[in-house]
Amino acid sequence: MEFLRTLKSVMSAMIGVQNKKNLKEDFSKNSATPFIIAGLIMTLVFVLAVWFVVQLALKANS
């Protein structure tokens, strides 16, 4: 459950809608490791999604 909360926090921070209460709570954690892992996962998901959309557009154009 904690990792899902971390993913939610990272996703909201990626688009800039993280509220101050959650931000303070995130910074009070002892370890940054879950946030780093979640950030890497979300970055990979974003890159793959962009790649997939480009592939669809190229296939539709040809």
At 1 the pLDDT is: 66
Mean pLDDT of the chain: 88
| Residue with token string 């154009």 | 61
**What tokens appear for 14 in the block?**
């990626």
pLDDT score recorded for residue 58: 94
Total residue length of the chain: 62
Compute the average pLDDT of residues 38-59.
95
- Per residue in 16-34, pLDDT (tens digit) is 888 888 888 888 877 888 8
Q: Which residues of 15-49 are buried (b: 16+ CB within 10 A; e: fewer)?
A: eeebeeeeeeebeeeeeeebbeebbeeeeeeeeee
Q: What confidence tier does 41 reach under pLDDT thresholds 50, 70, 90? A: very high
Q: What average pLDDT does range 48-58 have in this prediction?
A: 96
